[in-house]
Amino acid sequence: MLNGDVKKEPKLGFYRYLHLKISKNLNTPTIQAINSTLAEDSSLSSLKAKYLQIRAQSEKICAPLQAEDYVVQPIVDVSPPKWHLGHTTWFFEKMLLEPFCKNYKVFHAEYDYVFNSYYESIGKRVLRTNRGNLSRPSVSDVYKYRAHIDQQMSQYLTNQKLTSDEINILEIGLQHEQQHQELLLYDIKYILGTNPLFPAYQNKLTLTEATTTRPLGFLKVAAGNYKIGHQREGFSFDNEHGVHQVYLHDYQIADRLITNQEYLEFITDGGYENFRFWYSEAWEWVKNEQKKAPFHWHLIDGTWHHYTMNGLEPINPTEPVSHVSQFEASAFANWKGMRLPTEFEWEVACQTHQPDIPKSANFVEEGYYRPRVASEGNFQFYGDLWEWTNSAYLPYPYYKTAEGALGEYNGKFMINQMVLRGGSFATPLDHIRPTYRNFFHPHLNWHFTGIRLAKHD
C-alpha cells in the first residue's frame, strides 16, 4: 500500500506575513508553500553567506545591461529588469525587516506601491500605468535600495537568532529571487532580441559548432506502478509534494532534445501551414500571430537566423531547438507521428536514466547562455531547456490548500497551463531536480523551452 508514503504537508501558518497577490499577467513566480530544509543545516553565518551570494548573482546577471535596458516592458509577460531587482528586494524588506527588525524604517514609502505585485489593496490612488511606463525610480535608485536592504539584512542575519518561521521566510525569499533570476534572463533576451539593432547581451565565444549529432535514440521504460513526487532531501515546493503512485504503460522516450535541424525540416515540410498538426486553438494562434518559426528566429536573405545572447547568428543545426511554445512542440510531435511525454513519464525516465544533476553543467553561473549540443552518452534531462510535457498542471493526489495566507495561492495556477520539466541553462542549480514542476500557458515561448519526444511503441 503506497499511500502511507505520502508526506504530510508542513504546517503553513508561519506564512502569515505573506499577502502577495501575484497576478498571472505580471509574470511573478508563484510564491509556493515549501518543504524547507534551510533551517536544519544552516548557521547564521552560512545563511548570510547564501543570502549575499544569491543577491549578488542577480546583479551579476544585469551587469551587461545599459540603463535603458532596465526600463522597458515590450509585452505584458516581460517585466523591466529594474522591477525584478526592486521587487525581490522589497520582498526581504516587507517580509523580514519590517515584521522582525525592531525600529526598522521603510526605505521609501512609495516603493511598497511600485515594487509590490499586489495592486488591488492600494486604494490610495489608482494610476493607470504599468511597469514599462515607469522611468523612476531610476536604475541607480534601485541599486541604492538593494544596497540598503542588503546592508540591513546582513546586520539582521548577523545579530539575531532566527526562528524557524524567519528561516523559512528567508528561504522563500531566496528561492523567489532565484526564480526571478531566470525570468530576468528570459526578459533581457526578449528586450534585446526584439530590438531592431539586435544588441548582444554578452560577447562570449560561441561554442565550437558540432558537426554531427547522434541519431535520435529512445529509452524504453516498462509498464508498472511508479512513485511520483518529491522524496529527496532539500528544498521543494508543495506542488511536488504528495508522493503518489502512477501506473504507466510501456513507453519510449527520446534520449536527447530535438535539434534546430530537425525542427527546420518541420518548417520546410510546411508544418506552419498545415492545420492538421495543430490544436484548434494553436491553429488560431499560428494564423493570428502569423507564426512561421520559433520565437527569436528571423529569415534573413533566405537563411534562418536566431537571436542568441551573443546577438544574431545563423541557426546552428545541431543545437537543441528553443523558444517553442507547447503548441509548436505538440505540432512537431504530431508531424513526427509521435507525442510529447507526460510529466510522469518524464520523471520516471529521468529518475531511472539520469538521477544525478551534473554539477558541471553549463548553467548560467558559468556564464554560458545557450543550450548544449547533445553528445554521446548524455541523456540531457537537465539544464539545457525546459521540456514541454503533454500534462496539464493539476494537483497531485492529497494536495490540499493550506490554511495560511501563502497557502491559499498554491493551487491558483492549476488551470489552463502545461507542465515543463528539467530546467534550462538559465535555471539556478537549486531549481534543478527530477520532481520540479514548472508551468506556463501553452502558447508562450519567450522562455527557454525545448522538445523531447515520446511514443508508446
Q: CA distances (Å), 3 to each of 6, 343, 447, in order? A: 6, 20, 36
Segment 341 to 370, residues that bind its own copies, using CB under 8 A: none
> Pairing mode, if any, of strands 449-450 and 386-392?
parallel
Residues 309 and 202: beta-carbon distance below 8 Å: yes
* Upstream peptide bond of 137 is cis (omega within 30 degrees of 0): yes
Question: For residue 284, how many C-alpha atoms fall within 13 Å in the half-sphere facing its CB?
Answer: 3
Q: Given candidates 57, 154, 245, 378, which one binds its own copies under the rule CB under 8 A?
A: 245
Query: Among the residues of 93-243, which ranges form H helices?
Result: 98-100, 111-115, 139-159, 164-193
Cα gap 432→453, rounded to integer Å: 20
**The one segment of 17-25, 312-320, 354-362, 445-453 that binds its own copies by CB under 8 A:** 17-25
Under the binding rule (CB under 8 A), the answer on residue 398 touching its own copies is yes
CB burial string 14-34: b at 16+ within 10 A, e below: bbebbebebeeebbbbbbbbb
For its own copies, the closer of residues 53 and 135 by Cβ is 135
Under the binding rule (CB under 8 A), the answer on residue 7 touching its own copies is no
Q: Given candidates 98, 265, 313, 408, which one binds its own copies under the rule CB under 8 A?
A: 408
Residue in 421, 424, 422, 419 with CA at minimum distance from that of residue 439 = 419
- Cell numbers representing residue 152 in the block: 540591513
Sheet of 297-300, strands arranged across: 297-300, 303-308, 311-314
**The one segment of 35-43, 71-79, 209-217, 422-430 that binds its own copies by CB under 8 A:** 71-79
Q: Given candidates 113, 144, 264, 292, which one binds its own copies under the rule CB under 8 A?
A: 113
Residue in 168, 160, 113 with CA at minimum distance from that of residue 404 = 168
- Cell numbers representing residue 145 in the block: 535600495
Min CB(148)–its own copies separation in Å:
17
**The one segment of 92-100, 137-145, 314-322, 378-386 that binds its own copies by CB under 8 A:** 137-145
For its own copies, the closer of residues 313 and 408 by Cβ is 408
Q: Given candidates 45, 46, 53, 133, which one binds its own copies under the rule CB under 8 A?
A: 133
Min CB(186)–its own copies separation in Å:
15
| Single-letter code of the amino acid located at 230 | H
Q: Given candidates 273, 281, 365, 366, which one binds its own copies under the rule CB under 8 A?
A: 281
Under the binding rule (CB under 8 A), the answer on residue 307 touching its own copies is no
Under the binding rule (CB under 8 A), the answer on residue 118 touching its own copies is no
Under the binding rule (CB under 8 A), the answer on residue 138 touching its own copies is yes
For its own copies, the closer of residues 338 and 429 by Cβ is 338
Residues 204 and 310: beta-carbon distance below 8 Å: yes
Q: Given candidates 219, 264, 267, 394, which one binds its own copies under the rule CB under 8 A?
A: 394
Under the binding rule (CB under 8 A), the answer on residue 114 touching its own copies is yes
Min CB(415)–its own copies separation in Å:
4
- Residue that is written with C-alpha cell 548560467 in the block: 364
Phi, psi for residue 391 in degrees, rounded to 5:
-100, 135
Q: Given candidates 10, 29, 74, 311, which one binds its own copies under the rule CB under 8 A?
A: 74
Q: Given candidates 49, 106, 147, 223, which one binds its own copies under the rule CB under 8 A?
A: 223
Q: CA distances (Å), 49 to each of 45, 68, 179, 367, 437, in order? A: 6, 31, 19, 21, 28
For its own copies, the closer of residues 56 and 106 by Cβ is 106
Q: Given candidates 283, 292, 358, 430, which one binds its own copies under the rule CB under 8 A?
A: 283
Site string for its own copies, 180-199 (x = CB under 8 A): -----------xx-xxxx-x
Min CB(128)–its own copies separation in Å:
8
Q: Given candidates 77, 83, 137, 328, which one binds its own copies under the rule CB under 8 A?
A: 137
DSSP reduced 3-state for 426: coil
Spell out the residues 6+ positions from residue 192 whose beta carbon is closer than 8 angstroms to its own. Answer: 69, 198, 199, 200, 201, 307
Segment 37 to 66, residues that bind its own copies, using CB under 8 A: 66
- List 300's β-bridge partners, or say none: 303
Site string for its own copies, 286-305 (x = CB under 8 A): ------------x-x-----
Question: For residue 117, how many C-alpha atoms fall within 13 Å in the half-sphere facing its CB?
Answer: 21
Under the binding rule (CB under 8 A), the answer on residue 73 touching its own copies is yes
Torsion sign across C-alpha atoms 384, 386, 390, 396: positive
Under the binding rule (CB under 8 A), the answer on residue 442 touching its own copies is yes
Q: Given candidates 339, 351, 429, 430, which one binds its own copies under the rule CB under 8 A?
A: 339
